[in-house]
């Protein structure tokens, strides 16, 4: 994905509310399954990662992207935006 496409996705994500939240339990199979469903429905998803450790947030976002075969578009603070094109749309 090139920089122009990412810029458009970041602009579209600005108006979104977080649909998935990673809490104290971290990255569980339930969170991954919910993210899969949400990506299939919306393609562009904003995720809230509730932890104060910056490196852990970064690692969780990257792991979630790997497990869901999605791409990290942006991560600012506790909010990450991921994207996966739905081939059925």
17: domain CATH number? 3.30.110.60
CB 23 within 8 A of CB 35: no
Predicted confidence at residue 50, as pLDDT, reads 93
**Domain tally, the chain:** 1
- Which domain range does residue 36 map to? 3-83
Measured distance CA(10)–CA(24) in Å, rounded: 27
The tens place of each residue's pLDDT in the chain, 89 residues long, gives 899 999 999 999 999 999 999 988 889 999 999 999 999 999 999 999 999 899 999 999 999 999 999 999 999 999 999 999 987 76
User: How many other C-beta atoms can be found within 10 angstroms of the C-beta atom of residue 36?
Assistant: 15
Q: Is residue 88 part of a domain?
A: no
């Amino acid at each position: 994905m090139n920089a122009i496409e990412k810029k458009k996705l970041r602009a579209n994500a600005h108006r979104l509310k977080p649909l998935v939240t990673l809490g104290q339990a971290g990255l569980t199979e339930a969170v991954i399954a919910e993210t899969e469903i949400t990506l299939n429905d919306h393609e562009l998803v904003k995720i809230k990662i509730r932890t104060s450790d910056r490196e852990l947030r970064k690692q969780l976002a990257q792991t979630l992207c790997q497990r869901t075969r999605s791409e990290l578009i942006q991560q600012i603070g506790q909010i990450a935006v991921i994207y996966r094109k739905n081939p059925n749309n």
